[in-house]
Amino acid sequence: MIVALTGQKGGVGKSTLAICIAAELLARRHKVLLVDADPQGTIRTWGEVAVDAGQPLPSIVAMGSTMHRADQLPTVRLGYDDVIIDCPPRHGEIQRSALMVADMAILPCGPSSADAWALGASIDLVNEARTLRSDLEVRILITRKQGRTALGRSAREELEKSGIELLKTEVGYRVAFAEALGAGQGVTAYAPKDAAADETRALVSELLLWEKNHGTQEAPAQPAKAGRRR
């Protein structure tokens, strides 16, 4: 499957999630390609730290607003089980390109009403992509949640008003995520007993269950098609 972590708002943990999802898939013996589409280069920096620390890591490649072209991601992804794309905030042209090849777009969103309101521009972007890609699946993922607060408890109800389906898994605001990246690891390897690891494993299992139940199809790539999954 090809999953794009996307959205117009920054600071919601897209890069961290992309790394932790890819690392957990790798731990489950999947062949994984991690696409750094963010000019900030967080994925590439993490990869360098992982190499220096002798940690296993997925294949990493940098791509941008032309990744949907037949000679780019649709070709590069051949031979991989899963592709995880880390998209930058605000760079609509890069996000559009990712949405042309993704099987699923995940919109990470913080737990506040303000976060939910800011999601509007991201939803407009994915709906625009859906006019060209009717098979594109879109899910909202609640992130940085603080479970014992009224704000955290009301997040799901507020986001359900968007009309976009929410993933069952929710990801909390946890220090282990940042520490894992600094160690060149995913959180499930760095802190396997931490709640952050439990959430990451649950998220990956939910994505793989979706893939099993729905399958992934060839994604039109203006005009070529992406390579077939295994």
| pLDDT at 110 (0 to 100) | 83
Do 224 and 74 form a contact (C-beta atoms < 8 A)? yes
| Tokens 């976009």, located at residue | 164
pLDDT at 39: 92
Judge whether 57 lies within some domain: yes
**Residue 53 covered by a domain:** yes
Of 67-81, 86-100, 103-117, 175-189, the range with the lowest mean pLDDT is 103-117
Q: What is the pLDDT of residue 148?
A: 61
Q: Which of 11-20, 77-86, 211-220 has the lowest mean pLDDT?
A: 211-220
**Do the domain assignments include residue 226?**
no
User: Residue 11, exposed/middle/buried by CB under 10 A (0-12, 13-18, 19+)?
Assistant: exposed
Distance CA(49)–CA(181), nearest Å, equals 8
Q: Using DSSP, state whether 159 is helix, strand or coil.
A: helix
Burial (0-12, 13-18, 19+ Cβ within 10 Å), 227: buried
What angle separates helix 120-132 from helix 92-99, to the nearest 10 degrees?
Answer: 40
pLDDT digits (tens, 9 = 90+) for 99-113: 999 999 999 988 777
pLDDT digits (tens, 9 = 90+) for 29-69: 999 999 999 999 999 999 999 999 999 999 999 999 999 99
pTM: 0.88
> Is 49 among the domain residues?
yes
Mean pLDDT value across the chain = 88
Range of the domain at 128: 2-212
Closest CA to 125 of 4, 1, 7: 7
Whether residue 159 lies inside any domain: the answer is yes
At 169, which amino acid appears? T
Between helices 195-214 and 175-182, what is the axis angle to 10°? 90
Provide the domain count of the chain: 1
95 within domain boundaries: yes
**CATH number of the CATH domain containing 180:** 3.40.50.300
d(CA 80, CA 61): 13
